[in-house]
Structure 1
Amino acid sequence: MSGKPKLHYFNGRGRMESIRWLLGAAGVEFEECFLETKDDLIKLQKDGSLLFQQVPMVEIDGMKMAQSRAIGNYIAAKYNLYGKDLKERALIDMYVEAIIDLNELLMTHPFQPADKKEQHFATIVDKATNRYFPVYEKSFKARISNIPTIKKFLQPGSQRKPPLQEKDVPKLMKIFH
């Protein structure tokens, strides 16, 4: 096994995207093993690779880590991206938790029943506009996007994934249901 972290997930953003961003911010190259079929997921489940029988899973430092927040915390601490003291870590955790809340809304939108999509979208827009974006717009975005490793990750050709499209949902349903 190479020294690069190996990410196991489908070929899309989902819960793995924040981990890709974090590795990108640390300037760490990584490999990806995409789940293409239900059998790919079952194989990982049966061979004991998935502690809680679900992905994302990251192989790093001889471990097979599950749970996206645990993975993120490990990578942040390993590469000195998790603050210099408890107060900075608490602030980082608050920003991360807010992103997770918003991301959950975004990730579940394609799976909403047709008659609920419009209301769900309105909820996303309201919370994003009034709750989350104002916090991140107070100089956070400009400062972060100018960090050289982040700037590189945002360029075309990086391992950053495009947003989930409606056309991708049936494929994901075959893998995860």
Structure 2
Amino acid sequence: MAGKPVLHYFDGRGRMEPVRWLLAAAGVEFEEKFLKTRDDLSRLRNDGSLMFQQVPMVEIDGMKLVQTRAILNYIASKYNLYGKDVKERALIDMYAEGMADLDEIVLHQPYVPQEEKEANLAKIKDKARNRYFPAYEKVLKSHGQDYLIGNRLSRADVYLVELLYHVEELDPTVLANFPQLKALKTRVSNLPTVKKFLQPGSQRKPYEDEKCVELVMKIFH
């Protein structure tokens, strides 16, 4: 029997958080090896573990996978969270790419210089409220089903709900005009595997504080 997946990253959200969410939703236990110093990153680079010299990296099924989307697609395929056919996978990819575009701005918020934080937050609020969330609200409303695609949970639902939580931390009223998204968030949050992941003491990471930002700067810069 294969061992648990091992996640190599720093002890914070960053680009690994969607991977943690997806594994948790699939009910897969995983281990984490945290980078704490620049030397930890150098060791991974020097032993050939990082194809492009970058983390996140996940050891799973005898592979050392890098590139977040590749990691997510593999996990989704393995645990039946990637649609039933090629058309559904195309929709899942399309929806997830939109989420990744918004997530890119969201995950940078703790790291932007203090004088740029307000402008970046305004950008997040604008894009969430006026571009991305209305699109997913429309999808859910159009077919009246419980999930975005094929009326079954997919990696797109898990990623979207993670993003909803993250944006709500920055903008608590963001879902006020999106009843379908609110319902999806509740539905996914109540799945036993996700509910467990949302409890205190799980491997879900908190919003990056100044200490975490300092650690990241020490490792990567």
For Structure 1 versus Structure 2, the TM-score category normalised by the shorter chain is: over 0.9
How does 1:110-129 map onto structure 2 within 5 Å? 110-129=110-129
Moved more, 125-134 or 32-41: 125-134
Partner secondary structure for residue 65 of structure 1: strand
For 2:143, the equivalent position in structure 1 comes to: none
Q: TM-score, normalised by structure 2?
A: 0.75
Q: Which runs of 5+ in 1 are unaligned?
A: none
RMSD: 1.7
Contact 2:2–2:61 (Cα < 8 Å) also in 1? no
Q: Would the aligned equivalents of 2:11 and 2:35 in 1 still touch at CA under 8 Å?
A: yes
**Cα-to-partner distance string for 1:43-95 (whole Å, 9 max, x where unaligned):** 00000000000100000000000001000000000111101112221222123
Kindly state the Cα deviation for residue 155 of structure 1 after the two structures are TM-superposed: 1.4
SS at match of 2:202: coil
Instruction: Give TM-score, length-normalised by structure 1.
Output: 0.93
**5 Å matches for 1:26-41?**
26-41=26-41
Identity %: 67
For 1:142, the aligned partner's letter is T
Question: Distance between the aligned counterparts of 1:111 and 1:13, measured in 2?
Answer: 12
Q: How many residues align structurally?
A: 177
What aligned pairs does 1:50-129 form with structure 2 within 5 A after superposition? 50-129=50-129
AA matched with 1:117: K
- Aligned counterparts of 2:20 and 2:87: Cα–Cα separation in 1: 25
CA distance in 2, matches of 1:167, 1:99: 27
Alpha carbons of 1:160 and 1:66: their partners in 2 closer, same or farther (altered >3 Å)?
Answer: same
Name the counterpart of 1:170: 214
> Cα–Cα, structure 1 residues 111 and 50, in superposed 2: closer, same or farther, change >3 Å?
same
* Alignment gaps of 5+ in structure 2: 138-177
CA distance in 2, matches of 1:164, 1:94: 28
Partner letter of residue 33 of structure 2? Answer: C
